[in-house]
Structures are given as structure tokens and as C-alpha cells.
Amino acid sequence: MQNLENKVALVTGGSKGIGYGVAEALIKEGMKVAITSRSQSSADEAAEKLNQASKGKALGLEADVRDMESQQQAVKKLMDEWGQLDLLVANAGLGHFASIEELTAEQWNEMIDTNLTGVFYSVKASLDALKSSQGYIITISSLAGTNFFAGGAGYNATKFGLTGFTQAVMLDLRQQGIKVSTIMPGSVSTHFNNNQPDSSGDWKIQIEDLGQMVVDLMHMHPRTLPSKVEVRPSQPPQK
């Protein structure tokens, strides 16, 4: 089992939802975790909460994955603070769901810029640091990256693209000692797409479940790489 204490992670979109769940799980392992948000106050609030009950350490950073310079600055601040980067979790994402007849160009561009180009920027900004540490890249895709559905034209396009991007990057970097995986969750209990989590969503994947999955991937022996992990609720409601 790999010792994660004092390892350093960057989690994009880590102030809430899946990103927060991942950051919390990593910090409980003793890792130092920088979480990003487009709002510094949101990042700071989440980092303060994470620091209260964990043995690692959280740092809140304002960064927009849609802006390459912003991502580079986030990595620079992390490196200035802790001197290394062992894990990038490219999590930031959003969704607009509508028929192609109603889907707007603005919604399409926002999804492409965040879910796909944003991950490219995050990986590019982190690459030199990850080469030095022979670190790990984990992207958060979706089962929508392999299963298409009506009303999902834009979201499907970004997640199909993200899954393919991550698998190609895995092949690009594996001989340099960098591991690359994508996690593809089904229904997750978060505020995504204006959902309001409550007990009616207890059947869904919880954010702490995905946090544990990232920890498990980090603990796996370096010779073994689960490059694409599909994860579903074990017993969804019958339709």
C-alpha cells in the first residue's frame, strides 16, 4: 500500500460536490490538497471546513479552468506553498441538458470550455510538476461519456471527448511513470444540474464513495493501472 501522507494534490472544482468529497478523502489520508473554485471566498470557506476535522491540510485557490493562465497560476501557488504535486484530480464540470433544437451556442461553448478544454488546461499546467513526482492524473468523466441519451448532445459530446482524451493521455505518459485514469460515475447525489440532495437520493453514489475510490486508486501498486473505471449505483429505483 502506498503511503499518502504529505503527498500533494490539486482538485479542480473542489469547493463542493464530487471535488469536495475527493479532497476530504485525500486529506483524511494525510495529504495536502489545494482546491480550486472560481470564487476565492468559496474556496476559502471549503478549505476552512476541510481543515477542521482532517489530519492533512487544505488550501483554497481561486482559478478558472477555462483560462490557461489561471490554471498555471494555481499550480504555481501550490508549488510555492508545498514544492511538489503528486496528484491532479480534474473534476470541474457542468451540464446543460436540452434537445438540440433548444440547446444554445452559449451553453454548448460553456460545456466544451469547462468539461473538455478545462481539463486540457489543467493537465498542461500540471504536467511539469507531475513529471518530477511521477504522479497521477485522474479525470472525472461520466457514464454519459459512453452512454448517449436524448437531451444530452452537448454534455455527451464533452464527456465522450473527455474519456477519449484521458485514455490517449494515459498512453502518452505511461512510459514516463505518470499514471492516468478516468472515473465515470452514474447518478451522484450532488447539487449538479440544480439538484437538491436529500434522503430521496440515498440510493445514488455519494461524494464520499468517489473520494474513497480516488484513495483506493492512489493506494494501488504502481505496476497496476485501472485506466477507466465505470461506477454505478448498485440498486437504482425501478422505473
Percentage of the chain beyond pLDDT 90 is 88
Residue 155 annotated as catalytic: yes
Start-to-end C-alpha separation, the chain: 41
CA–CA separation, 102 vs 143, rounded Å? 23
The CATH fold assigned to 8-231 is: Rossmann fold (3.40.50)
Confidence of residue 58 (pLDDT cuts 50, 70, 90): very high
User: Can you give the pLDDT at residue 84?
Assistant: 98
**Residue boundaries of the structural domains of the chain:** 8-231
Overall average pLDDT of the 9-15 stretch: 97
Considering the candidates 20, 121, 136, 155, report the single residue annotated as catalytic.
Answer: 155
| pTM of the shown model | 0.95
pLDDT in tens, 128-144: 999 999 999 999 999 99
Overall average pLDDT of the 203-211 stretch: 94
